[in-house]
Structure 1
Amino acid sequence: MLAMADPELDNGPRTEKSATMRMCAVSREVRPIAELIRFVVAPSGEVVPDIKRKLPGRGLWITASRQTVAEAVRRHHFSRGFKTSVRAAPTLADDTEALLVRSTVEALGIAAKAGQVVSGFSKVESALSQQGRSALSALIHASDGAADGIRKLDALARQIEAGKRQSDGQPPALPIVTCLSSEELDLALGRANVIHAAVLAGPASRTFLSRSQTLVRYRLADADKTVGTAAKNSNDHSKQHPT
């Protein structure tokens, strides 16, 4: 049963068992919180994104989409939703994307510190060949990486997955993440000129994948209709498109 008081805020639509659903203040659609971004009002009266859903105060929920956040600013949904006059910067959609990028970079850095990331073409190739699909959570390519290296590693990943399907009938899907630039990968991994990386299975890698999917959804939801599904360019096994 859905609770309808202040439906766009934190005490809005949710199941009786868990607080996993919220209503978008723009579209009025009820979605899983993984497909939404929470916004709060800072003491200064400025609307700020709460990417990790931990900031104090009442939260207003917006579909994780650049266009939707921009529309919320343009049509004054924040003042209506919070039922008070608040300031939403014209750059809020861009600012939100920058925070999503930083959150994804931080998550990859934490995975690296936990020993769950290898980087460099040869090391990634070795991880694919020796450890196999079951030991990997994702393959990462810099968004500005050369097509040749990306093509070779993607082909190797497909060969390994094809062999896995023949051996146990399971069709594993290795996410391919390309939403970060080489500079951003450098920052996350603390080394220069990172183009390729592989994320090993583990709790930290799951956090990275979740955040990268949110970033892709935010960028592509409007053009590619990815809201409500796995982010197209980070989980499309059949097409092997980079994120």
Structure 2
Amino acid sequence: MTRGGREKMKDEPERKCIATGESQPKGGLIRFVIGPDAVVVPDILGRLPGRGIYVSADTEALNKAVKKNLFSRAARQPVTVPEDLTDLVEGLLARRLVDLVSMARKAGSAICGFEKVKDWLVKGEAVTLIQANDGSERGREKLRPPKGPESLISCLTAGELGLAFGRERAIHAALAAGGLNDRVVEEAARLGGLRGANSQQVGELIAGKDTKDA
């Protein structure tokens, strides 16, 4: 398990975090590059040109990198770090996760709504359960992740999850198996690392036992 709460995959390229000094798979790190104006730029998709600087997807690590001027040390030159860098990264990761869930919805591999999600769980079609972290605890406890806590994503708000489904709010969603599921889980691990959501679990009630939502 990586620092960001993500499962380590075999043969996955590793990079060293400038804050912790630990090497881990690139998927559990945030990549940064130095722009032409010597400003630190988050590279969430890992596609921007330039030498990459990596920080664990963890609020403590990112704050340490900012506070101790570790970006300048890694870049071997004076750089400017945006004051709101942590918030900026969190917002970009949230947007990325919402976009991926939206793509899964359009591909027919993601649904939302308590009854629909419960039906997928009962039929074994859902491999990942997504629940808004600001939904009622009683309502969230009525659905159980299909493969235990590791198959639960709980780092999005109801408003953010709703964006993925073209509605104002959504509390419950589920993903079917497929490539998009793996990408959603990976991005959720990074966002969860910043929001401290990796250890959140739902209750012990089995899906289908209670049909009332809160």
User: Same fold judged by TM-score > 0.5?
Assistant: yes
1:69 aligns with 62
Across the aligned residues of Structure 1 and Structure 2, the Cα RMSD in angstroms comes to 2.3
Q: Aligned ranges for residues 34-113 of structure 1 at < 5 Å?
A: 34-113=27-106
Q: How many residues get paired?
A: 195
Aligned partner of 1:22: which letter? R
Aligned-pair CA distance for 1:43 = 2.1
Aligned-pair CA distance for 1:92 = 0.8
Aligned partner of 2:161: which letter? L
Aligned to 1:110, the other structure's residue is in SS state helix
Q: Distance between the aligned counterparts of 1:207 and 1:239, measured in 2? A: 27
Choose 1 or 2 for highest CA Rg.
1
Q: Distance between the aligned counterparts of 2:101 and 2:64, measured in 1? A: 31
Deviation string, structure 1 residues 171-207 (Cα, Å, up to 9, x no partner): x436111111111011111123311111111111211
2:137 aligns with 147
Aligned-pair CA distance for 1:110 = 0.9
CA change 1:239–1:21 in 2 (3 A) is farther
Contact in 1 for aligned 2:14/2:26 (Cα 8 Å): yes
CA change 1:150–1:238 in 2 (3 A) is closer
1:21 aligns with 14
Greater helix share, structure number: 1
Q: Distance between the aligned counterparts of 1:46 and 1:137, measured in 2? A: 40
Counting aligned pairs with the same residue, the percent is 36
Matching residue within 126, 131, 146 for 1:136: 126
Q: Distance between the aligned counterparts of 1:198 and 1:181, measured in 2? A: 15
TM-score by length of 1: 0.73
Q: Distance between the aligned counterparts of 2:143 and 2:81, measured in 1? A: 43
1:167 aligns with none
